[in-house]
Structure 1
Amino acid sequence: MDGSPAVPDGTSTEAVTDFDAIVIGAGVSGLYQLYRLRELGLKVRVFETGTGVGGTWYWNRYPGARFDSESWTYGYSFSQELLDEWDWEEHFAAQPETERYLNYVADKFDLRRDIQCKSRVTAAHYQEDTRSWAVLLEDGRRYTTRLLITAIGVLSAATMPTIPGVASFQGQSCHTHDWPKEPVRFEGKRVAVIGTGATGVQTITEVAKTAGHLTVFQRTPQWCAPLHNATIGQEEMHRIRADYPEIFARCQETYGCFIHATDPRATHEVTPEEREAFWEKLYGEPGFGIWMGNFRDILVDREANKLISNFLARKIRQRVTDPAVAEKLIPNNHGFGTRRVPLESGYFEVYNQPNVQLVDVNETPIERITPTGITTSDAAYAFDIIIYATGFDAITGAFDRIDIRGVDGVSLKEKWKDGPQTFLGILVDGFPNMLMVMGPHAGLGNFPRAAEYSADWVTGLIRFARDRGLTRIEATAVGANAWTDHVLAASEGLLFTEVDSWMTGINRNVEGKQVRRIMRYSGGHPAFRARCEAVAADGYRALALA
């Protein structure tokens, strides 16, 4: 196709809008996208629901919250000054440090003047006659923009469990995503945590240190691996700073933008003794090496996956003193690495404490929340605090919570009801001038590394259109179908597609999210970038530009 279809009759391409671009979200993606759009000289407004910037790191301030990417791979790479000025305190920074970092970025680059906090976007409707978007806030304010850019995160739409009586509890309770800013004390308190995903693992480990008694309600145990966090001294930070070019180059080379590269060997190409020694080495090292730097076949070969899963199971049995409890903590419905691997710091040892009890809700389901606690099929528990670590409506959930309508009023939620359809995870046919930073079917991984690339690509496309006087940017149906087919093909043979998780679109607490879907691109970030760069190099001819 020629990439330059005619302007429809009666369309005004000179419409006056409040902004050239509206960005939804002031987290890692939104802050950087704002920085890049400013470089183009555009009039931009960022709408942020929270009272401050930071996205994930503004909201998730629950006990133990920290990221599992190495800090020095997680920060932005676009500014040498920023790299020179910021000293990371830990190899895996906790939430307060990461929130401080993102606030530092917002101040250093004077981003706040274009960010409007306490502004939840509830609707965005495309206006074909003016080639613009009308954006509605929760408080009733309306704005118009030529470009609508979503930077709303992959895990930002928190979900509560559909358990009867949640609202009846008279003690203190909240979802981990909505943790209060004021400190919560656990000393002498009877505390319940519902959920044992990555958030639950971090929360449980920290709460158990001071709670009077902690009861964990688990449905699905996880294959956790040690984080091995440590502080960073000045001398080490100096060495890291000198290595930044090599660090970021390595992140560009790897499948998930982490520093850990897949081992080129297959599991059965080494002796059992060599294999065990290699896994012991990975288990003792910091970060995702045991997941991202393991043998090349552990996520595609059932026998290889069974062997690494058995290795992790042995570790759990070694670390948990009660054999019956240990068995409950070993997953039996998925293999290691087929869900996102939680990294932990003493999680399994928590269950050796006399003040901690594990309840398997597969054996004794929760029947309801009561004014005083939780009732299961065999017992009534009294609590002072209930913590819901019940996860997110991942990847598409944040989109579903905004009434986004494209050409002819078509609903994005309805269009995606059988699974997302995008072009490069950035554009959607029928939704002109809407661009997604880290949308469904994009290349995911170490988030800032992937988000920077996505925002850069979006910026390049906007520059291309602006320089040519083009005011309508849209994916074609042919292009979106081809990319969706490619995303599906890239996932074939991967064991994670056989597992219920947020990575396959499953959330038992959300209507319509009980069927597995392919939600992300699994071909690796180098392959994703190659596809994106080929489209740009071809003058964006794969798009419908006008």
Structure 2
Amino acid sequence: MTVLETDALIVGAGFSGIYLLHRLRDQLKLNVKIVEAGSDVGGVWHANVYPGARVDSPSPVYSFGIEEVWKGWNWSQAYPGQKELQEYFHHVDRVLSVRKNCIFNSRVNAAQFDTTTARWTIKTEDGKTIVAKYFLPAVGFASQNYIPPWKGYDSFQGTIHHTSEWPRDGVDVRGKRVAIIGSGATGIQVTQEWAKEAEETLVFLRTPNYALPMRQKTFDPATQKKQQEEMAELYAFCASTGGGMPYRPEQLPKALAEFETREEAAKHVKRMYDDGGFGFWALALSDLTLNEESNRFAYDIWAERVGRRIHDPAKRALLAPSEPPHPWGTKRPSLEQDYYEQFNRSNVNIVDTKKHPIAELTPKGIVTDDGKVHEVDIIAVATGFDASTGSLSKMGIKDLDGIDLGTRWKEGIISLHGMTVPGFPNMFLPYSVQSPTPFTNGPVYIEKQANWIRDMVQKMETNGIRYINPQEKAAQEWRAEVQDIANMTLFPKTKSWYQGANIPGKPVEQIYYLAGMPMYFEKCYAALNDKFADSFVSA
């Protein structure tokens, strides 16, 4: 059996994996390999080829902040689609020579650290064995899909795919009866495309998405030139903000009570909606997710703005109800282009699965619990992901005692800053749990995490440290801080994937850190010389 020896093994060739490769290989001169389950670079932007797949963080800052990369690239749109994003990753590969260090079509299914050799032994489904000092599962938070255990799923005789496992040659819906199950970002994007082509479109809706207008823009050459000139400064600014977004200091919001009148507050909040993007979420009211009165004030404005776009009162009541199903912003809003207008079509209808849940699938379609059969030809399953922990738990990663990571986290997540885990020495988790992950512009945030991991590895290499194993006490304190911060907000009032509540049997807890990037990284760098001091093993 051939064993591949390397300094660091990264799992995943998306933003996180490529940033880490660049930091460890090109800056620290380590021997680094990437194992990637797919056939190309790009991570989710190679895998997600479902109809309408598009990013919802704005370019040009949804990209690598590496100068030699951004200097040779211009975005065509504010919110690029999957094809342009895949082309972008090919550009990144040409500039950084990523592919030469990648092992494609290979999936990790076992990994364990040996304190005697201070090395991880990692195995793959296709029979490879890799030994590395550092192990970096860079699989993101949305790579393990979730399909509810519906009775009869395999009996459906039409075409059915989860959006994360879409055929690369697409699905032709012209003249077909189609169903979209789910109302998250992927469900909205598929609906916008299919409603324009299918003979009949059924949206199976349990909870309305508090979607915001995308306000897509196309960039002309003059705009692209200006972006190039300002890119370094803009990226640096985004890295200093709470969520890595290009919101300027003068845009910082006020609490509802700080406005002189409710009319003034309403005017500001309406403008945030009309401007599009995530400004409504981030800039409308500073206490949006802290104060119930402020939250309801914002919700009513959102519902009014959306409601005027939907002609049918019955559809309006489901998509923008007068009473909020949950506080605004405690589930992730999506960006839409013309989602609500699609429901003005007579052949686009809603099945209320909160009132009548899906009971089973049959060869001809979908049956709800009232016995009604919805006959369709094609089904898009847009039911989301087992966020962050799902993919990690399926990789066979074991601690020093041989206990699987999924088992270790069965009663709740334990980590230090979401990047290291007690009992798993020299393992680093970028863009994952107990950190600000889904509340950030991914590439900006990931770069800062990659810098921290690089700094930690550099410290270990410079000082002859064989491995680092964070202390349980420090990790428990971090877990408590993540939960305590969440309990100051309205987030615990909502069951969502932010808390693992979308997966039956998964512990319901706050999975992500809500206090923003600056505070998060301040604590991470303080820990570099503090909480990790008793975690280093040199001999």
* 2:213 corresponds to which of 219, 226, 233: 226
Other-structure match for 1:336: 328
CA deviation string 1:165-200 (max 9, x = no partner): 111111111000111110321110111110011111
Q: Is the 8 A contact 1:17 1:146 kept in 2?
A: no
Q: Which amino acid aligns with 2:292?
A: R
RMSD over equivalenced CA pairs, Å? 1.6
Q: Aligned runs of 1:2-401 on 2, under 5 Å?
A: 18-39=5-26, 40-78=28-66, 80-260=67-247, 263-270=252-259, 271-330=261-320, 332-376=324-368, 377-401=370-394
Cα displacement (A) at 1:236: 0.5
- The structure 2 residue matched to 1:525, chosen from 508, 512, 517, is 517
Provide the residue aligned with 1:415 in structure 2.
408
C-alpha distance in 2, partners of 1:474/1:390? Answer: 36
Q: Which amino acid aligns with 2:409?
A: W
Letter in 1 for 2:453: V
Question: Is it true that 1:440 corresponds to 2:430 in the alignment?
Answer: no
Deviation at 1:538, TM superposition (A): 5.3
Amino acid at match of 2:198: A
Q: What residue is the counterpart of 1:11 in the other structure?
A: none
- Specify the code of the residue in structure 2 equivalent to 1:367: A
The reply on whether 1:488 has 2:483 as its aligned counterpart is: yes
The CA deviation at 1:410 is 2.2
Indicate yes or no: 2:421 matched with 1:428: yes
Cα deviation 1:414-439 (Å, max 9, x = unaligned): 11112211111111111111111122
Shift of 1:391: 0.2
Residues 128 and 541 of structure 1, relative CA distance in 2, 3 Å threshold: closer
Task: Spell out, residue by residue over 1:354-393, the C-alpha distance to the aligned partner (whole angstroms, 9 max, x if none).
Answer: 1111000122221111111111224212211111000000
- Any runs of at least 4 consecutive aligned residues in structure 1 with deviations exceeding 4 A, and if so which? 537-540
- How far the C-alpha of 1:286 sits from its partner, in A, is 3.3
Say if 1:45 and 1:249 are closer, same or farther in 2 by CA, change over 3 A. Answer: closer
SS in 2 for 1:526: helix
**Contact preservation (8 Å) 2:253, 2:283:** no
Which residue identity is paired with 2:436?
Answer: G
Q: Which amino acid aligns with 2:188?
A: V
Deviation digits for residues 327-374 of structure 1 (CA, Å, limit 9, x no counterpart)? 111263212111111110111111110111100012222111111111
Q: How far, CA to CA, are the matches of 1:35 and 1:84 in structure 2?
A: 17
CA distance in 2, matches of 1:239, 1:185: 40
Contact 1:364 1:378 in 2 (8 A): no
Displacement, 1:249?
Answer: 2.9
User: How far has the Cα of 1:542 moved from its partner?
Assistant: 5.6
State whether residues 260 and 288 of structure 1, in contact with CA within 8 Å, keep that contact through their aligned partners in structure 2. no
Amino acid in structure 1 at the alignment position of 2:281: W
Partner residue, 1:466: 461
Contact in 2 for aligned 1:419/1:518 (Cα 8 Å): no
- TM-score normalised per structure 2: 0.95
Correspondence for 1:3: none
Q: 451-460 or 246-255, which moves further after superposition?
A: 246-255
SS in 1 for 2:75: coil
Structure 2's unaligned 5+ residue stretches are none
Query: Which secondary structure state, in structure 2, belongs to the residue aligned with residue 123 of structure 1?
Result: strand
Range that drifts further, 325-334 or 46-55: 325-334
SS state at 2:536 partner: strand
Indicate the residue corresponding to 2:398 in structure 1: 405
SS at match of 2:174: coil
TM-superposed CA distance for 1:23, in Å, is: 0.5
Structure 1 gap segments, 5+ residues each: 1-15
Q: Does structure 1 retain, via aligned residues, the 8 Å contact 2:270–2:301?
A: no
3-state secondary structure, aligned to 1:232 = coil
